[in-house]
Structure 1
Amino acid sequence: MVYASQRAERLTDYPVRQGQHSISGLSSGAFMTVQLHIAHSRQFVGAGIIAGGPYRSAESYRGGALLAADAFTLGALAIGMNPLIPAMAPNVDDLVGLAREVERDRLIDPLDGLAGQRLYIFSGRSDCVVSPAVVGRTRDFYARLGVRPQDILYDGDVDAGHAIITDNLEDSPLAANRPPYINNGRFMQSHAILRHIYGDLNPPAEHPAGRLIRFDQREFFDGERRASMSEFGYAYVPSGVLAGEAARVHIALHGCKQGYNYVNYVRGLPDTANQPPYGNRYITTTGYNEIAETNDIIVLYPQAEGSDGGALQNPDGCWDWWGYSSPTPRNPDYYSQNAIQIRAIHRMLARLTGDDR
């Protein structure tokens, strides 16, 4: 693998197979996967959701506080992630209704675009961060919107903690619930996701020969601090695509504390002296690049970053699925095509495919 230079490149376009793109993510990246998938469903053929809840699940209990932003934060913690009992998990009927409202307002693609798409949904039996009851509602949500049961692969049988699963011996034990949320379960979950979405794929490369590109992603969110996104993003471009083969694009979204420049915050200040060495492990060790290399799939790795203090509260570097990046607390837009993070990632995809010209 040829790694990025010290200087960030400008993201460019490549020959692509139109209508063949997909997306996946873990934890906050899984919640964001659902939001981006629903917002721009006509761009995708499928999605992989590891420990993520349904669309707008933070809004399950809007009366939880006087201010919408506070209610959504409480809802994200108490209902959208780990409800006290399974019956308190997000109400699918309510969330389908919210999705229909946004569809009527033309803030997302028509929901009939989900028909025929393929979904991989996973919840570890030992996950103590996002309850399996919540992830089960994600399956139900998509089924209510017309995704056929045979197109949904739901796996809740593995005794895994809160993590993306790999076959790397140096990763955490399978049932662990701790950073960096990459656990050894003797299989590459990224490969399972892509195989379910795309069907038969070539075996992964042992040593990917493409390029891992570091690009300046600030242009895609106009440098706005409220985006809570990092200076750089990454993309793996297979050698065949560099040689002119048409590609598919897969967007891989890391979870909380997994961005390349994650910093732990203590009392609102970055604790750089004790920064954990997570680095870019989600980008380089989770198996996406190896299977992408032999199947002409560009893997786009957008990067979120943390902030603690002032109006922007995102100390763990999570993707926004409860409204912290919205322009005003009273009118959250984190779930629509107008959301700053969704807009930024969609603009990256448009650049890669040449649709921004």
Structure 2
Amino acid sequence: MANDIVQLRNYNVKKGESSISGLSSGAFMTVQLHLAHSASFAGVGVIAGGPFRCSESFRGAAPLAEDANVQSAEYICMSPLTPQTGPSAPRLAQLAHDTAQAGAIDPLSNLKGDRVYLFTGSRDTVVYSEVVKCTHRFYELLGVASDDILFDDTVPAGHSIVTDNPEDSLLDTNQPPYINQGGFMQSHRILHHIYDGLKAPAPQTSGRLLRFDQTEFFGGEARASMGEFGYAYVPRAVEEGAPARVHVVLHGCKQGYSYVNYVFGRADVTNQAPYGNRYITTTGYNELADSNDIIVLYPQATGADGGGLQNPDGCWDWWGYTSDDPEQPDYYSRDAIQIKALHSMLSRLGG
């Protein structure tokens, strides 16, 4: 990766053929971004993520809407006591219809024909499998054909993206950096499900991993909770003008390049976890993208603790922490600050 900080530029990208995948908070955001801009996407990969607007499942969880969303996120959308106390796919599907009817997201008819990959590790103790099963049902209720959905709950994985790297954590681990070894590259399974006829991954990448200035896409606003830099892998053939597609990869909590643990509200820089850019460089996306003319976009969330922003783990916003009005959050809509930034990056690339 070059040390230069560049601006994203336009490439010869095929319209409507972009895709997204993410883990955990990145998976929840994947569903949100998919529905908000469904006209732009052909498929998604959701690893340990719940359905659209899940954190609004139970307004009665607390007197304040902001607290109720957090309670719903933690105890309904991540670790429900029973399947019956988890999120309701029919209710959230209806909420998606209402949101589209109000014009806050793209028409749901765009979802027809999209490919959806859903994964839950059977040893995941962070986001329970029942939640991901609800996401499966949610997409079916929105009209995505069963044949277009691949749902995998058979792997005894913890909360993680799975790789074949011997250096990564044991498969059933449920702790950072949430990258576990399981004998296969999950990123490859995601891309193969979304796109037909992909070539084998390149044994060695030929393109460039770019570091770009993210702040122009969210105006440098602190409430966006996004890092100063984002990253993009661009294959050499794409640099030279070949038709391309874009795949957006959304990391989970504690996985951004700038993640620092907060202790009593202070950044514990001395004991900073050495996760760095592992999600960008070791999860297998770049090698498969290189041989198939796919640009891989790696936007970055960052952590903050204190003041008006409570996001110490650098999660993507799927419960409303970026919203100006907790009573009427907009974190899921086309106007949400993070979704606007992500789609603007995609648009800059040409997708």
User: C-alpha offsets along residues 113-135 of structure 1, whole Å, 9 cap, x if unaligned?
Assistant: 10110000000000000000000
Matched, 1:335 2:338: no
User: C-alpha offsets along residues 224-260 of structure 1, whole Å, 9 cap, x if unaligned?
Assistant: 0000000000000001101110110000000000000
Q: Please state how far the C-alpha of 1:92 moved relative to its aligned partner.
A: 1.1
Q: Percent identity at matched positions?
A: 61
User: C-alpha offsets along residues 192-211 of structure 1, whole Å, 9 cap, x if unaligned?
Assistant: 00000001211001210100
Partner of 2:81: 84
- Match runs of 1:1-357 below 5 Å: 3-5=1-3, 7-353=4-350
Where 2:110 maps in the other structure, the secondary structure is: helix
- 1-structure distance, mates of 2:66, 2:94: 20
TM-score in terms of structure 1 length: 0.97
Look up the equivalent residue of 1:160 and give its one-letter code.
A
Aligned CA RMSD, in angstroms, stands at: 0.7
Look up the equivalent residue of 1:265 and give its one-letter code.
Y
Q: Please state how far the C-alpha of 1:330 moved relative to its aligned partner.
A: 2.0
Where 1:308 maps in the other structure, the secondary structure is: strand
Where 1:223 maps in the other structure, the secondary structure is: coil
Look up the equivalent residue of 2:7 and give its one-letter code.
R
- 2-structure distance, mates of 1:173, 1:277: 17
Where 1:324 maps in the other structure, the secondary structure is: coil
- 1-structure distance, mates of 2:15, 2:38: 13
Q: Please state how far the C-alpha of 1:4 moved relative to its aligned partner.
A: 2.4
- The count of corresponding residues between Structure 1 and Structure 2 is 351
Look up the equivalent residue of 2:58 and give its one-letter code.
Y
Look up the equivalent residue of 2:155 and give its one-letter code.
V
Which consecutive unaligned segments of at least 5 residues does structure 2 have? none
Which consecutive unaligned segments of at least 5 residues does structure 1 have? none
Where 1:157 maps in the other structure, the secondary structure is: coil
User: C-alpha offsets along residues 80-131 of structure 1, whole Å, 9 cap, x if unaligned?
Assistant: 1110112111011111121111111101000011011000000000000000
Q: Please state how far the C-alpha of 1:63 moved relative to its aligned partner.
A: 1.1
